[in-house]
Amino acid sequence: MFGFLTACDDDPKKEKTEICDNAIDDDGDTLVDCDDVDDCATATNCQTPVEICDDTIDNDGDTLIDCDDDDCADDPACFISERFLTVIGTSDLHSHLMGVGPARDYSPLVVDEDGTKSGLARHAAIIKGIKAEKEAAGIPYVLVDSGDSLMGDMVDLLSGDAPPVFHFFQLMEYDTVMLGNHDWDWTPAGTAVIINAAMTGVAFDRPLLCSNLVTDATATGDDYIEALVAGGIIQRYVLKTIDDDFTVGIFGLMGIEADSNVPQAKPVTFWHEAPDEENGFAQIQTLVDEIRTAGANLVIHAGHAGINTNGVGEDRDVAANVTGIDVIMSGHRHQLLATATGYLKVGDTYIIANGKYGENMTQLDVRYDLTEAAITDATGIVYDVDDTVLGDTEVATVMATYIGMLDAVITPKLGITYSATPIAHTTFDVPAIDFYQDPLPTGADVEVPASLLVADAQYNALNAVVAGAVAAGLPTMDPTYDASPFSAAFIENGAVRDPIMVGQTGMVAAADAFRTFPLGIGPDGVPGYPMMSFYITPREMKAILDLNVEVRMGNAPLEYYMNPAGIRYIFDETRGQFDKVIAVFVCNDAFTTVACYQPGNGYLLDLTDTSIDNMLRVTVDYYVTLLLPEARNALGENVTIDPKLKNGDVVDMLNGAEVAALAFDGQPGDYDENTGLPIVQELKAWVTLILFIDGLQDNWDAVFGAPGPEPTDGIPSIPARIYDLGTAPSIADPYWQMGLNRGMEKADYCAMSSNDPRVCN
């Protein structure tokens, strides 16, 4: 028989074995040497070459030696413990997307043209520049904001529909954004509206931080916030993976002081531990430990607690008492650290602060050692965001679009624009108090022109509404209408924010006026604190002013100073605490000038009178009414002020409905057709200021009977002879600073008044 010649195994019984290094098919299976896996799998010469990672030889023949070879990626000899990271920070922007300074001067796309600072187009240019530099160098970065992004500019009127600053955060791809105290000014429901508007309008998806946020399981006022927490929009902390071995954890706490400034946040609360308590930082330590256990190597606290220029503050306390925090990007206190490096090192923690209103932003370049689990080197940079920075065209265009949207809303309703048309002219800066300066002002310096201008605006605007209603016969048509004029207006220092500045042209825009009093929301859900109306006794008037004197003397918080309009007061510093006011003059004077002291222009109150028969009608903004209970808690019976209705009934200041009912009706005469009750149109504090400034005289020479510095140019002028703190032109000396110094020490008053017998005996 002839056999078929086929390729077959000539060793079916496996009696032959492949020799693995002779280039011959020894066992007849067509597989030669190492290709014969069955026979040569374990042969030494058939093993794939493996790079030895510490012998400086190319062991596997791929031209890559030691740690340059991918074979060594996980070899301990090639582990690189050193990492580089850049932390970029902003904080307390307060919606200053169009800069700080006269709104009409802001020119982000031209350098060296104006004196304005801040502006989101300039921020964007700096941020994009840092990112490009770091990407080119292969260095990762994180971008964080430490809170209070809202409340500070007229663009906040858009926040319920299209919040511009959240659009900026989205465009810049922030890693985290902290919710600071002013980000809760609109109440939890309002904060939720803003966040949801950003999510809907610009697909906002940046993580929002508020690590010590506590919601109320039974209350309904924070239900929308609870939904945002459940949806992962508001988070306790964020982990950002840089590479397989390096992860950054970011958290943000609301500080104790910041929390105290936002009563509107209820029923939302924030857990704290006082530094003087035993184990006072235990919860924060537990949180940091949790973040590290979750995988973070480097931990950043981008929160809203704060540190002062001198290095003292809540963030320093946290750094000194909590281990495991590598970097604190500090918000809230509106200050920069007075260090040559831009940062302060406390233990192993690097603290850097961002200032206020976006006038600065910061960068911290760190070298981190994974083995040591610590930063081994750091370099801080503090950027001046000013007119030397050429703004980013994309963001400038986006922000200009928002201004156009705003004008489309306010021009038909109020006849004003954001900045295109001026509402007034000023020849001098109208300064406001910087609450974060060190040292804080005392004495007469606690009373500043911007606050007095706001108080005068509120006093005049409300009295004008009442006078208009009386002239229209409303009290006859509605006997329940309160036609009593207001005796006084009070504006707390803490709510007056930006000064009004001369800038290049002296032209004041509506935006400038708004920035002076930009905060809050009213019971009606419309942006801006409304004006409230209630009655107090002469004795309670003294209590308010006694508190003012204690603030002047440094014995009470600066923000508690209540700048008056419609009254002037005299005090004696030698008297006991909270009993120093000895005379209060009430006068119907648009600017509360020194003419109030003249017999016939003003009258003296009986400061012992506690009866409801001689009560005075006063106005404050909504924020003051919310803080009255807290002021009493802080100062005790020294500040016993019980707001009352006209009939003498005391208002329960802990009852939200009763407080809301105090809102002043800015457009009286409208009634619900079903109930017959008045439809209250809240008069916002910022509206009173714009109306007042817009209605000022153009020519003041006739008013004062002498020429002065105010221009006559067809535009209302803020009167220098009333509000200017500067040196008077000699021709105006007899009339200078007529509206300032509304609280005077007895000795000064008696010297000025030739020993007025009503006060100086």
Asked if pLDDT for residue 729 goes beyond 70, the answer is yes
Instruction: Decide which of 124 and 261 is more confident.
Output: 124
pLDDT for res 7 = 40
Identify the weakest region by mean pLDDT among 12-16, 55-59, 72-76.
12-16
Residue 376: count of CB within 10 angstroms of its CB: 11
Q: Using an 8 Å Cβ cutoff, are 130 and 75 in contact?
A: no
The mean pLDDT value of the chain amounts to: 93
pLDDT at 702 over 50: yes
Q: Which residues contact 36 (CB under 8 A, 6 or more apart)?
A: 18, 20, 25, 27, 29
E-strand stretches of 128-279: 141-145, 176-178, 208-209, 213-214, 234-235, 237-243, 246-251, 269-270
Contact status, residue 522 vs residue 663, Cβ threshold 8 Å: yes
How far apart are alpha carbons 209 and 251 in whole angstroms? 6
Write down the H helix ranges in 203-294.
Answer: 223-230, 256-260, 282-293
Secondary structure (H, E, C), 629-643: HHHHHHHHHHHCCCC
Q: What percent of the chain has pLDDT over 70?
A: 96
* Distance from C-alpha of 173 to C-alpha of 171, rounded to nearest angstrom: 5
> CA angle at residue 181 from 178 to 185, to 5 degrees?
115
DSSP-derived letter for residue 278 is T
Residue 476 has phi, psi (to 5 degrees) of -75, -40
- pLDDT > 90: what percent of the chain? 78
Is residue 576 within 8 Å of 600, Cβ to Cβ? no
Query: Max CA-CA distance within the chain?
Result: 151
| Confidence category of residue 560, pLDDT binned at 50, 70, 90 | confident
Q: What is the DSSP string of 74-99?
A: T-GGG---EEEEEEEEE---TT-TT-
Q: What is the pLDDT of residue 8?
A: 44
> What pLDDT does residue 9 have?
46
pLDDT band at 90 (very low <50, low <70, confident <90, very high): very high
Is the confidence at residue 10, as pLDDT, over 50?
no
Question: Does position 469 have pLDDT exceeding 60, yes or no?
Answer: yes
**How would DSSP label each residue in 29-46?**
SS--GGG-HHHHTT-GGG
Q: What is the pLDDT of residue 636?
A: 64
What pLDDT is recorded for position 130?
Answer: 99
User: Looking at 335-415, which runs of residues are DSSP E strands?
Assistant: 343-346, 349-353, 360-369, 374-384
Range list for CATH 3.90.780.10 in the chain: 430-760
Question: Does 103 score more than 50 pLDDT?
Answer: yes
Mean pLDDT of 574-600: 94
What is the pLDDT at residue 18?
86
Rounded Cα–Cα distance for residues 468 and 665 (Å): 12
Mean pLDDT across 474-494: 95
Query: Mapping DSSP to helix (H, G, I), strand (E, B) and coil, where does residue 191 land?
Result: helix
pLDDT of residue 65: 86
Instruction: Label the pairing between strands 424-425 and 374-384.
Output: unpaired
Report yes or no: 303 and 255 within 8 Å, Cβ to Cβ: yes
Tell me, rounded to whole angstroms, the distance of Cα 11 from its chain centroid: 86
Does the pLDDT value for residue 638 go beyond 70?
Answer: no
Confidence of residue 735 (pLDDT cuts 50, 70, 90): confident
Under the banding of pLDDT at 50, 70 and 90, the label for residue 350 is very high
Q: Beta-carbon neighbour count of residue 483 at 10 Å?
A: 14
Segment 473-499 mean pLDDT? 95
What is the chain's alpha carbon radius of gyration, rounded to the nearest angstrom? 34
Q: Are 182 and 331 in contact (CB under 8 A)?
A: no
Q: If DSSP codes are grouped into helix, strand and coil, which group holds residue 490?
A: strand
Average pLDDT over residues 435-444: 84
Distance CA(122)–CA(105), nearest Å, equals: 14
Q: What angle do CA 181, 361, 435 make, to 5 degrees?
A: 45
Helix (H) or strand (E) holding 565: strand 562-565
Contact 411, 363 (CB under 8 A): no
- pLDDT of amino acid 13: 54
Q: Hey, what amino acid is at 675?
A: T
Average pLDDT over residues 340-357: 96
CATH of the domain spanning 430-760, picked from 1.10.10.10, 3.90.780.10, 3.90.1150.10, 3.30.460.10: 3.90.780.10
Residue 732's pLDDT is 61
- Please give the CATH architecture assigned to the domain spanning 80-404: 4-Layer Sandwich (3.60)
* E strand intervals along 560-634: 562-565, 567-571, 581-587, 602-604, 616-621
Residue 121 and residue 464: Cα distance in Å, rounded? 41
pLDDT at 296 over 70: yes
Per-residue model confidence as pLDDT tens digits over 134-162: 999 999 999 999 999 999 999 999 999 99
pLDDT at 149: 98
Q: Does 277 have pLDDT greater than 70?
A: no
Give the other-Cβ count within 10 Å of 264's Cβ: 22
Q: What is the pLDDT of residue 62?
A: 87
* Residue 687 token pair: 């509206």
| Number of residues that this document lists for the chain | 761
Least confident interval from 71-85, 498-512, 653-667: 71-85
Residues whose CB falls within 8 Å of the CB of residue 2, separated by 6 or more in sequence, listed in order: none
CA dist., res. 127 & res. 92, Å (int):
16
Q: Mean pLDDT throughout 536-558?
A: 94
The torsion defined by the Cα of 516, 518, 519 and 521, in degrees rounded to 10, comes to 140
Residues of the chain within CATH 3.60.21.10 domain(s) are 80-404
648 pLDDT higher than 50: yes
Q: Which pLDDT score, from 0 to 100, does residue 12 have?
A: 55
Strand ranges for 588-739 from DSSP E: 602-604, 616-621
Contacts of 135 (CB under 8 A, 6+ apart): none
Q: Above 90 in pLDDT, residue 535?
A: yes
- Which segments of 255-392 does DSSP mark as H helices, in order? 256-260, 282-293, 314-321
Q: How far apart are CA 681 and CA 467, in angstroms?
A: 17
What mean pLDDT do residues 540-544 have? Answer: 95
pLDDT for residue 1 is more than 60: no
Q: How far apart are CA 301 and CA 313, in angstroms?
A: 14
Question: What's the average model confidence in pLDDT over 20-42?
Answer: 88
Q: Name the H helices within 178-222.
A: 187-202
Q: What is the pLDDT of residue 705?
A: 82
Using an 8 Å Cβ cutoff, are 54 and 29 in contact?
Answer: no
Element spanning 474, H or E: helix 474-477
